[in-house]
A and B are shown apart, each in its own frame.
Chain A
Amino acid sequence: MIITSQGFGHFKNGMNNQDFGIETPRMLLILDGCSGCKYPEVGTRLFSQLFSRKEEYDSAEKFEDNVKKVFDELIDNMKSLYSTQEELENEFIMDNLLFTIIGCFDTENEYIVKSFGDGYIITQNNRTNVSYLRLSYGKYPPYFAYKYCSVRPGFDYTNYQFKTFRFDKKVFPNVCIATDGILPIVKGTVDGIDSFIVTGNDAFVETSIRNNIQKFNDDVTIGMFTNKLNGGMIYEVFE
């Protein structure tokens, strides 16, 4: 289940919700658009649509290749519409395609999280302690689209790769992902929401966020696996 909510700060400033996400029974993918560029909400939605058309797009092994293919094809197709590389970078890539990418894959024995940019990984250990792991890279976080910006100085991200985190299900029975808009939840200003997030209780999470919407300045998106009960028992029933 992907829960996404426009930030109150964005609402006041007339900005759209720049986050987006897609899900399958074994994959969660969330994207957080850069507030500093013009149309990140366009990029996140366009990317998601094209990505979901790829073969085995919810496979952890093919994820990075699929992301690269989508970016390659999209930028190649747009090249003809811009006269120079600089124009393409400044007016298409920088205005539309700057967003963080976080994917979480539910495999048999572990959860695999692949991230490129800022965000949060939410885990629950065997003692039901909920942890919020913050991925943060300063004021100017890396975006995958920077790999296609060769003309701009200081933007050499060609060697940057996805970061991979593996969580053994025996140690971490529940894992979720979120964009960095959940900071108020991490600080503890939204009471009682922790257990609802890790157990996939989307109705309560959505209600809690709506009831405290003024505390969320930035857009907030949380990806949770809801088609499970007590760490995967429902799979055993249907198998």
Chain B
Amino acid sequence: MKFLNRDNKFKERTKKENELNKKKRWEQQEKDATETEIEEYLKELEEEYETPPVVSKTWTTPSKPGTAKVVTPGCSGIPKYDNISIYDDLSKIPRPKTIYKKTIYKKLNIVFVENSAEVYKEMDTIRKIVNAISTSELLCIISYGSTVTVGEIFDFSASESRPRLLLDSNSTSACLYDALVDMEALVSSVYMKVEEKEKEREIINEIEVIGIGTCKDNCSEIEEEIAINRFSKTTSKKNVKTKYYCLTEDGFMNAAKIGFRSIGSISQKY
């Protein structure tokens, strides 16, 4: 603490010294400009203007409206004059309006669901998971079957109803790795990006990925290693959480290999 106090005192001293130095410089400049030069200059100004000019170092507000020219000492000792606007009423001074937008931080929930017949059987459980998401947060549904469908980011504040989740009861294909790459692209495009609105700006500073399915792949075009590398970019971001609900414990290995942080099973049968 002693050292901190010494630093603070040193800073105060240097501030005072700087101010004193400035004053000395002003005074020196005035001295440098000779008296005769100032008198001659003032005479010229008197001939030009009816009212005598004001010589000062600071801005003042004279009672007369209109404009006036004020003589101030210049840096090199030669006096100069500047134009100022004079107002009787300070409240009439036009001041620029700055609008400060409120920043709102939001959480995005990405429901990453496999569109297959096996998952269709657990529709009730999936609905519970989706309905548990708070209405103050954002929701996006990515479903993957034979193709990947990335839904729009849904804001509950703009609409009372929830987005529909449609699954195919006959599908057997699952392009998991393609979906992982698309999911990473979505997260990168949205995470910590500012969205300007009329009166506020929104930033998504937290993302939770909730995966549901068998965690298997049978028709992806992208290779497994590439997809896992891209997924690890997602998990490396702070405040991005990942979960996967496997239908059974058979999917645990794949989910752990990909790197989902929290892995559980929907079925609780031993």
Contact surface of A with B, Cβ cutoff 8 Å: 121, 123, 125, 127-138, 141-142, 160, 163, 165, 167, 171-172, 186, 188
Contact = CB atoms under 8 A, between A and B. Distances in A.
Contacts of B264: 134, 136
Given A127-B228, A138-B268, A160-B270, A132 B252 contact: no
B256 A135 contact: no
Contact of B259 (A127, A165, A188): A127
Contact of A142 (B249, B256, B262, B270): B270
23 contacts: A123-B256, A125-B228, A125-B259, A127-B228, A127-B232, A128-B232, A129-B259, A129-B261, A131-B256, A131-B260, A132-B261, A132-B262, A132-B263, A133-B255, A133-B256, A135-B249, A136-B265, A160-B270, A163-B249, A163-B270, A165-B252, A165-B253, A186-B262
B29 interface: no
Given A160-B270, A165-B252, A125 B257 contact: yes
A188 B270 CA distance: 27
Contacts of B260: 129, 131
Interface size class of B (residues with CB under 8 A): 20 to 34
Interface in B211-270: 228-229, 232, 235, 241, 249, 252-253, 255-265, 268-270
Interface in B182-235: 228-229, 232, 235
A127 to B, nearest CB: 4
Contacts of A134: 262-265
A171 B263 contact: no
Nearest to A129: B259
Interface of B: 228-229, 232, 235, 241, 249, 252-253, 255-265, 268-270
A195 to B, nearest CB: 13
B268 A137 contact: yes
Nearest to B263: A133
B237 to A, nearest CB: 12
B259 A131 contact: yes
A129 B262 CA distance: 11
Nearest to B244: A131
A137 B241 CA distance: 24
A168 to B, nearest CB: 9
